[in-house]
Structure 1
Amino acid sequence: MKLRNPHSEQDIVAAQIVGMNGKTVTVKTETGQILRLPLTAKHQHDQIFLASLKDIWHAQIWIPVNRQLKKLFHYDWLLDPAPVKA
């Protein structure tokens, strides 16, 4: 049995935010697929995070999302973010 990798390249797609409410972010992928991404309780109460999403929405910036897991990434297009050197 082969397990599916949740971070495989076909699951990571470019999307633009097309709507937001208190609990979800709605995005549209390059192929026109509409995804509703649930926000965690922490993100629902994080005013800076929500303001950032609204800025991304209004600027129509393409962001990476995991289509399979229906999640936003905490980092850009890199699969493994580079470690921060102190």
Structure 2
Amino acid sequence: MKLRQPNRQTDIAAAQIISMSKTHVVVKTEQGRILRLSLSPKHQRDQVFRAALKDIWHNKIWIPVNTKLRHLFRYDWLTEPVMIDD
């Protein structure tokens, strides 16, 4: 799967998780670039989030990452955030 289009610069890349620790996730982009992404303190304590990342890692699923800010996205690239009206 190629995310980037020719002649188009973007900070979003598809990546696979290659390792995890309590505070960081290490990913490898389609271009072979290795990035170390920091997890927020909230995500470090969230056992469900960490379990989901482990499942993504072991199943080698491609995820979107911001290569400039070195962060995971809250939403994937196929869905838009949904606002819930109370």
Query: TM-score by structure 1 length?
Result: 0.82
Residue in 2 that maps onto 1:20: 20
Q: Give ranges in structure 2 of 5+ residues lacking alignment.
A: 1-8
Residue in 1 that maps onto 2:11: 11
Counterpart code for 1:23? T
Matched, 1:81 2:83: no
3-state SS, counterpart of residue 65 of structure 1: strand
Q: CA RMSD in A?
A: 2.0
Q: CA deviation at 1:83?
A: 3.0
Residue in 1 that maps onto 2:45: 45
Q: Deviations over 1:37-75 (max 9, x none)?
A: 000111001000000000000000000000000000010
Report if the CA contact (8 A) 2:75-2:81 is conserved.
Answer: no
Query: TM-score by structure 2 length?
Result: 0.82
Residue in 2 that maps onto 1:66: 66
Distance change >3 Å, CA 22–CA 82, structure 1 → 2? closer
Distance change >3 Å, CA 32–CA 43, structure 1 → 2? same
